[in-house]
């Protein structure tokens, strides 16, 4: 449902009003229904919402409506709606939201609610001594390439000890690059993912001995299934050697990277636990035991001893925005709500599956740094496809006083679809306004 502002005739003559209508999010196909009223608390069914509902977002409930008819011509000019007072979302769950209404508001089950656009997130100020200069990180921006890149990795693919960048584009082009001293990228190997697949993410590391393998996770709309293509450099050509029936992603930095797999679409299209991938007796195997991903995709998490040396902390992006750390006692620490806008999405059945940018962690155990990407949306609107996002940034955070606090931020010139981690830097691919992309190294 959208806001329909058919009011008095003078409103129709207002150019500002018409312009505002054009900027509202397209929620027309989604009905958000009141399913429970408990005092000033109202429960809303958001399972059909086409845009992400966020805590703090403002909404109204439609109390009644009537047709607006021109008495001279009989023309139907639309509907006049009577709205409740504004409510505010206090909690968001996967299929419903909880809102708080002003006292005295009378609502009924079955009424429909309409939402105003969610405001673009505002980064919190760093929790630090105001006299201290923020930590600044050097970065290298490589020359743009004519691809819309959605994933990046680094590994030795063309030769032993090579420092190749490996990228995946929106249209399924896998490219292995060399970089020179002038920060120019030269393609060395390429592979085109078949058009029957939608690309999601890419990883590269030597699961076998020798040169690194490339793992391209894809979605098949015809089979409604996710799998991973395994590519190898065979005599100077990238060839597919096998495929794995899993969602696969690298975790970790540089030589410490490991490869993990999830069985997708278990428990209402949610991903399964993560299990380590290895190569034994001439085939890829997946360990029986693993760890819980908190029902998150592997693109939006990592594991690292953030809390203290020797701890086993899971760091992941939650659906409503914060980056969370699962502590050893089972409790969670989290950041501000900065990270909800991740544009890598795939339609599965009637749902949009969201794959958040990778969260990276590095540094001394117990004093680690966590890096995660934020993208701002154009006009404050959330998109179901690529292209509706403004520029991104990488926030670096420390675990302090029971929460993740931003210590410094590196702004980027384009939208961030994915990140990775090498021995020396956090890697990001930024999609520039003209559709080209750059690889960015932000040094640790």
Q: Are residues 146 and 33 in the same domain?
A: no
| Residue 407 or residue 269, greater confidence | 407
Strand, coil or helix: 1: coil
The per-residue pLDDT for range 227-265, each reduced to its tens digit, is 999 999 999 999 999 999 999 999 999 999 999 999 875
Q: Are residues 111 and 193 in the same domain?
A: no
* 283 is a domain residue: yes
Q: What percent of the chain has pLDDT over 70?
A: 81
* 121 is a domain residue: no
Q: Are residues 299 and 351 in the same domain?
A: yes
Q: Are residues 180 and 53 in the same domain?
A: no
* 233 is a domain residue: yes
The per-residue pLDDT for range 391-443, each reduced to its tens digit, is 889 999 999 888 999 999 999 999 888 899 999 999 999 999 888 999 999 99
**Residues 358, 370 contacting (CB under 8 angstroms):** no
Q: Are residues 88 and 151 in the same domain?
A: no
* 3 is a domain residue: no
Q: Output the domain CATH number for residue 349.
A: 2.120.10
Q: Could you tell me which of 407, 250, 398, 421 has the C-alpha nearest to residue 325?
A: 398
For residue 195, the Cα-to-chain-centroid distance in whole angstroms is 23
Reported as a pLDDT band with limits 50, 70 and 90, residue 153 is: very high
Q: Could you tell me which of 152, 157, 305, 143 has the C-alpha nearest to residue 231?
A: 157
Reported as a pLDDT band with limits 50, 70 and 90, residue 317 is: confident
* 380 is a domain residue: yes
**What does the H/E/C string look like for 265-331?**
CECCCECCCEEEEEEECCEEEEEEEEECCCCCCHHHEEEECCCCCCCCEEEEECCCCCEEEECCCCC
Reported as a pLDDT band with limits 50, 70 and 90, residue 119 is: low
Query: Which residue segment(s) compose the domain that 92 sits in?
Result: 9-115
Q: Are residues 111 and 192 in the same domain?
A: no
Residue-level pLDDT at 349: 54
Q: How many CB atoms lie within 10 A of CB 200?
A: 25
Q: Are residues 28 and 103 in the same domain?
A: yes
* 124 is a domain residue: no
Q: Output the domain CATH number for residue 57.
A: 2.40.10.410
What are 133's two structure tokens?
Answer: 């200069």
| Residue 229 or residue 121, greater confidence | 229
Q: Are residues 65 and 171 in the same domain?
A: no
Q: How far apart are CA 430 and CA 438, in angstroms?
A: 5
Indicate the pTM of the whole model.
Answer: 0.69
The per-residue pLDDT for range 102-113, each reduced to its tens digit, is 988 999 999 999
């Amino acid at each position: 449902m959208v806001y329909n502002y058919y009011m008095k005739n003078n409103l129709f003559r207002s150019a500002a009003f018409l312009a505002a209508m054009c900027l509202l999010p397209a929620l027309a196909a989604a009905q958000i229904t009141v399913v429970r009223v408990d005092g000033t608390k109202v429960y809303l069914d958001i399972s059909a919402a086409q845009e992400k509902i966020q805590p703090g977002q403002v909404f109204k409930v439609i109390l009644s409506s009537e047709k607006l008819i021109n008495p001279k011509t009989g023309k139907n000019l639309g509907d006049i709606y009577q709205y409740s007072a504004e409510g505010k979302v206090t909690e968001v769950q996967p299929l419903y939201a909880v809102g708080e209404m002003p006292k005295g508001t009378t609502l009924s089950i079955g009424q429909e609610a309409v939402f105003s656009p969610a405001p673009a997130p505002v980064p919190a100020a760093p929790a630090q001594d105001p006299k201290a200069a923020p930590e600044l990180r050097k970065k290298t921006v490589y020359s743009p390439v004519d691809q819309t890149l959605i994933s990046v990795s680094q590994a030795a693919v063309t030769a032993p000890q090579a420092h190749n960048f490996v990228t995946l584009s929106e249209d399924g082009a896998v490219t292995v690059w060399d970089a020179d001293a002038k920060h120019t990228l030269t393609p060395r190997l390429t592979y085109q993912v078949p058009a029957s697949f939608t690309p999601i993410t890419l990883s590269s590391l030597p699961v076998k001995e020798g040169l690194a393998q490339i793992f391209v996770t894809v979605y098949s709309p015809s089979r409604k299934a996710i799998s991973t293509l395994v590519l190898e450099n065979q005599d100077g050509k990238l060839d597919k050697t096998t495929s794995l029936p899993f969602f696969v992603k690298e975790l970790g930095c540089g030589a410490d990277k490991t490869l993990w797999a999830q069985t997708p679409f278990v428990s209402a299209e949610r991903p399964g636990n993560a299990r380590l991938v290895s190569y034994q007796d001439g085939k890829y195997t997946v360990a029986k035991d693993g760890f819980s991903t908190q029902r998150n995709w592997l693109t939006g998490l990592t594991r690292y001893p953030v809390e203290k040396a020797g701890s086993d902390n899971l760091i992941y992006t939650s659906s409503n925005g914060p980056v969370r750390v699962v502590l050893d006692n089972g409790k969670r620490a989290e950041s501000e709500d900065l990270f909800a806008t991740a544009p890598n999405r795939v339609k599965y059945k009637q749902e949009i599956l969201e794959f958040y940018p990778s969260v990276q962690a590095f540094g001394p155990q117990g004093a680690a740094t966590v890096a995660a990407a934020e993208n701002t949306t154009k006009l404050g609107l959330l998109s179901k496809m690529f292209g509706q996002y403004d520029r991104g940034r990488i926030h670096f955070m420390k675990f302090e006083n029971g929460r993740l606090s931003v210590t410094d931020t590196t702004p980027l010139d384009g939208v961030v679809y994915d990140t990775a981690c090498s021995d020396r830097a956090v890697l990001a691919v930024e999609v520039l306004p003209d559709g080209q992309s750059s690889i960015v190294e932000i040094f640790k």
